[in-house]
Structure 1
C-alpha cells in the first residue's frame, strides 16, 4: 500500500515536471487529438504566434495558414505523417497580428500500444529572423557584385567615350589651322565622322540596355522583305570585312521565305551586332553568314561563323550577361560596352527566337540567331538563291513589280506632290484614283460615292485624318482605311488605329510595303497592258517620276520662301506644316537628305528650339540647291 502511494506520488511529480518543461521549452509546442483539434499549447507558442491557449483550444491548426502554400503542399504533409508517423520541414504561417513567419516544424504522431494514432505533437521554431538575415546577406552580396560590375562598366565606358571624343575634338581643332591642306581637312572630317558614329553606337547600346532593364523594350511584327533586310546587313558587313582584309562569304540554304513577319529594325540590329563582333574578334581568315529556314519551327536561322580568337568553354555561360566580355584584356584590346550580346539575346527572344553559340578558343565561333517568321505560305518560299545573291550585292537600284489589281481608291492628302505620286503608283496597278484635299472633302466624297479603299493622310487643314476616319466609321463606312503619314511615333500609330484605320504606312512611301498593302485589301484585276512589268524606283530613269520630281523642285523655292517668311513672323504652325509636307515626299524624289532635314526641323519645332530651326533652314536651302 505504501509502495503504491510512492509510485502515485512519483508519477504526479513526473507529470508536473513534464508540464513545467512543456512551458519552459523555447520552441513552440502544440498538442492535438487525432481530429486534429488543439488540446494544449505552451507559452512559446503564444509568444511566437500571438495566440493565447484560450484563443486556440479546440481549433484546427489550419487557422495558422499563411496562404503561401498550395493545397498540394498540405496533402503531401498529411500523407507522409499518416504513412511514416512524422514530418519535418519549413512552413510559412501567420501570426495573430497578420504578420507572416517562417517556422521549422516537426510533427510526430502519438500512438498507443496497438500503433493507432491518438494525436499529434508539433514543435516549431521561428526562422523568420534567420531567413531575413540570409536574404539580407544574399542581397548584400548581389549588390556588391552588381556594384563591382557597374563600376567596371563605368570605368570601361569612360575610356570608350573619351577615346572618340578626344579624336573628334582634336581633329576639329586642327581644322581651325589655316595652313591645313584640303586633303588634311578631308581626312580630319572622315575621322570625326567615324568617331562620331562609334560614339553614337555606344550610346545606342546604353539606351537599349536601360530600356531592357526597365522592361520597356518594344518590338513590332511587320511584313518584311527578307532579301532587302539581308542586303542592307551584308553591304555594311562586307565593307567592314574588306577594311580588315578578311574574306567575307554569304551562303543561302534554300528554300527561303521572300517575306517574314518581324521587326526589321530590331532584326537588323541583332544581325549587325553578331557580324560586328565576328569581324572585330577576327584578325585573319574569314567571316561567313549562313541563312536557312525551318518550316516546322517557322524560324529563320542566321549563322555567323568566324575564324577569330574563340571563347573558352568556361566563359560561354556568362557571355550573354550584361557588361560581360571574355576577360578584361579583351575589353582593353577590342573595346566595346560588353552589352551587345546581352541586348541581342533579349531582342531575339522578344522576336520569338533566341541566340545560341558554339566556340573553341583559338579556332573560332559560330553564333546562330533564330527569329520567328510567322506563317510562311508555300508560294512565298523561293528555291532561287539568285534572288538573295543579287540582294546581297551593293546596288543602288531596286526594282519592284506592281501587282495587277482592281478597285476605286480615294487618296486623301493636301500635298499636291503626294497626290500625284500616289496616284501614279495606283495607276500602275490598274486602279482608279480620286483625290480629296482634306478630311472634310474625304467625308463628303465617301458618303456620295463607292470606294474600295481610302488612303488617309493624318495631318491636313480644315479636318485632319483622325477626325475624318472617326466620322467615316460613325456614318457606316466599312471599307479599309489606311493611314499614310510622315509621323511614325507609336502614339501616332496607336491613335490612327484607335480612330478606325486598318493599317498605318509611313512616308516617304516604300513601294514594296505599299504594293503589299494594296494586294492585301484589293482583288486581282485584269492584266493591264499599259502597266510595265518592272518599275525602277530610281528617279531619273522613269519619265513620269522625273516629271513629278521636276514639278516638286519647281515648287521648292516657293516652299522655302514660305518657311523663311513663317520663321521671321514666328509662325510655328506654318513652319511645322511645310516641314511635314517636305518630309513626307522628299525621299521619294531622290532627296533623302532634304527629307531628313525637314524631319529634324519638325522635331526642333516641337522642342521650341528656334535657333536650331534657323540652322536647319540654311541646311535645307543648301540641300535643295545641290539637288538642282
Structure 2
C-alpha cells in the first residue's frame, strides 16, 4: 500500500510541474494578446486625435492663404476682410480659442477682438517666453507650420498654438497663428485618461506629460505615436489592473481546470492501483470488528450476570421494603418479588405474597392508587409519594414509596421496582416539632403580653408621678420644694426612659420594629433631639450645637422618629461622659453623595481602645467601674446600632482617652425621590417669610466656634449680614468700626465687661442685644440692655422670633410662630369627656385639664361613655384603651358606626400600652390621635389645640 502511495505522489508531482510550466506559457500568451488588443485600441484613439488636430490646422492653413492673398491691402481693409474670414472659421465649440495675424511679429489683427483685446500690440519677439520665441524663429526659417507643445495659458486652461510664417517674395511679412483649447481637442477625439479598463496618457516630443498620469509611461505601456506637422506626440496606455491583473480571470480558470484534471487523474490512478489492497483491508477490518463485537457481547453478558447477582444481593439485604410488581392479565399489578426487609416489616412470608395483587399491602384509603400505579408502569415513568400501608396484622403505618420502571433487552417495560420506607418515627417527630413551634409562639405571645402588661402597670403610677410633678412645678413653691419636685420628676422621666429602652430592645429582638419613612425636616429633628437633652447639658454647662453642610437639602427621606431616637441616644451618651466642653452634631453627605453622614462629637473622657469592640453590644458598658459612676442600662448604643442597620446604614466610633469621642452613623440618601421633591416644593411654598430680616446687620459674639457656626447658619438662612467676635474686646473693636442693627452675645464670653462698656456708649445705646445662656441662667448683662434672653441650644425659629420682635414684626410673628400660653377662649368651652377607670389617672388627667383651662366629665368604662353620649354631646373624648366591661377600642367602633356624622366627637387615645401596633389599632378603630402614658401636660395641650384648630 505504501508503494502505491509513493508512486501516486511522484505522478502527482510531475503533473504539477507540467501544469506550472503550462500556466506560465499561457499567461505570456494572454498578456501578448492583451497588448495587441490595447495597441489596436490605442491606434484608433491616436488616429482620431491626429484627425481632430489636422482638421483644426486646416483652418490655420486657410488663414495663411487668406493673408497671402490680402497682404497688399490696406490695414483697414485687411482688418475688415479678416473679421469676415475669421467669423466664418472661428467656432468656440470646436476648441479654437483665437485667430491672429502679426505683421512683422506684432499682433494687429485678432479674433475674437473683445476677448483678445490684450493681444493687440504684443510682439512675438519681445513678449513671449524663450521657448515660444524659438518656435516663432523655426516657423520663419522653415516656412512650415510649427505646433507648440500644450501649455498653461494665462487665462487658464491648457492651450496648443499653431504658427506659420507669411513671406512676401521670399521676405518675412509676418506670422499667422491659431490657439486651440487642448482639452476640447482631446475630448472631441474621444480621449479620456481612464477609458474603460485602460489608463492613458499623452506626452509631447519634449517628454512633457500633459494628459493623464506620468506613471502610465513607467508601467511598460503600449505606445502609439501621433504625428504632427513639425513633431509628434506619444499616446500610451496600460490596463487599469496592470498586465498581470488583466489576465487573472482566464488564467485562474485555466489553472483551476488544470488542477481539477490533475486531481482526477491522480485519484483515478490511486483508486485503480490500490483497489485490491483496499478491498483486502476492508475485509480484515470487518473481521476484526466482528471479533471485537463478539468479545464485547460476552463481557456484557458476564457484567449483566454479575449485576443481577449484585442487585439480588442488595434486594435480599435491603432493610426497607423492596418488591417487584408487574401488570397481570386483568390489569392488576401483581407481586413478583418480595425482599426479606419487606417480609420483616409487613409480616408476610415471600411465598404468601408472590403472585398476589399489590392491593393487599395498601390501606383501604389508598386502594384508588392502583390505577395510577398501572399508568406509571405503562408510561415508563417514576412514581413517588406518601402512602398508607397495611401489615399482615392489619396495622397501618405511613411510608414514603418510590416506583422505578424495569426494562428488558428491547427497552420495553416488563415490571417495576418498588421501594418503601417506614416514616412512622419521622411523622411523630414532625408532630412534636409542630407542638414545639406552637409552644414557642405561645411563649412569644405570652412574653409580648407580659411586656405590655408590665409597661401598662409601670406607666400608670409613672403617669401620676410625672403628671402631679408637672402640676406642682406650675404652682408657687419655694426653691427647696421646687428642687425636690424637679428631682422627683427627673427620676420619673429617667425610669420612663429605661422602660422605653427595654421595650424598644424587645421589639428589635423580636423583629417587630418597623421603619416608617417620610419627608423629614433635618433641622427640626436635630433641634428636637437637642431640646430633649438640653436640661442635662445645662446642668453640666455643656455647649450643644449642630452644623449642617451647605449642600444638604432642607428635607431628607427617612424615619424621623427613629432618627430622632438615635440622635437622642448618642447625645445622651456624649453628655453622660463629658464633664466640660461641648457636644456637637455634624451632618454632611458622603463623598459619593449616596448617604447622609452624622457625627456626634464630644470633649469627654474618651474610650479605651480595648473597649471599642464592646460599644454596641447589648447590656454592655465601657467599664464596670464606670457603670457604678454613670447610670444607664447599657442598651442605648445597642438600640442605636440596630436602628441604623434597619434604616440601611452603618454605625462606628472613634475615640482617644481624655480626648473625646466621635460616634458616626450613616443612612441612605434618596435625593431623587419624587415624594421628597414634592414635600420640598410644598415646604418652599409654605415657608416662613424672612423679608423683615433681609439685609440687617448683626454682631455675633461667642467664644465657642461651633456655637458661632450654628448661629451664623441661622442668620444666613434669615438673610442677615453678620460679623463674628470671640471675646468682649474683639466685639468692642468691631462696634467702634461698624454699625450694626442687633448684637447676639453669649453669657460666658471672655472680657464681658469690655463689651458691656462698649454697649453703654451713647452711639450704641439703641443697639438691641440678644443674650444667649444656659437653661435656668439669669441675664449677665444689665436687664435694660437685653432685648431677649434665649436658652441654649438655640432653635432657629426661636432666634427668628426674637429678631422679628426686635425689628417690629411682633404681631405677624406672634400670630404664626409663638404658641399661646393659654388655650383660646373658645377651646375652654370644649365639652370634654374623660374615659378612665383608674382613680389615680382620673385625678391626674382632670387636674391637668383644669390647669389648662378645660372642664371635663368622667366615665369609668366604655359603657359609661355611651351612656354619657346619649345624654350630652361632646367635642372631645379622651379614651383609655384598657377598661372593664367595654374597652376603648370597642367603644370607639360603636361610636363611629352608630352616631350620625354631625354628632361625631374627636376621640384621642390615652393608653399605657406601648407595644407594636397599639397606635395603628387605635387609628384603625376610628380614633383621631394618640397620647402615650405617662401623659405630659405640654403634649396634652398640643393635642387639644390641634383638635381645636382642625374644627
Bucket of the pairwise TM-score, normalised by the shorter protein: 0.3 to 0.5
Q: Which has the higher contact order (CA 8 A, sep 6+)?
A: 1
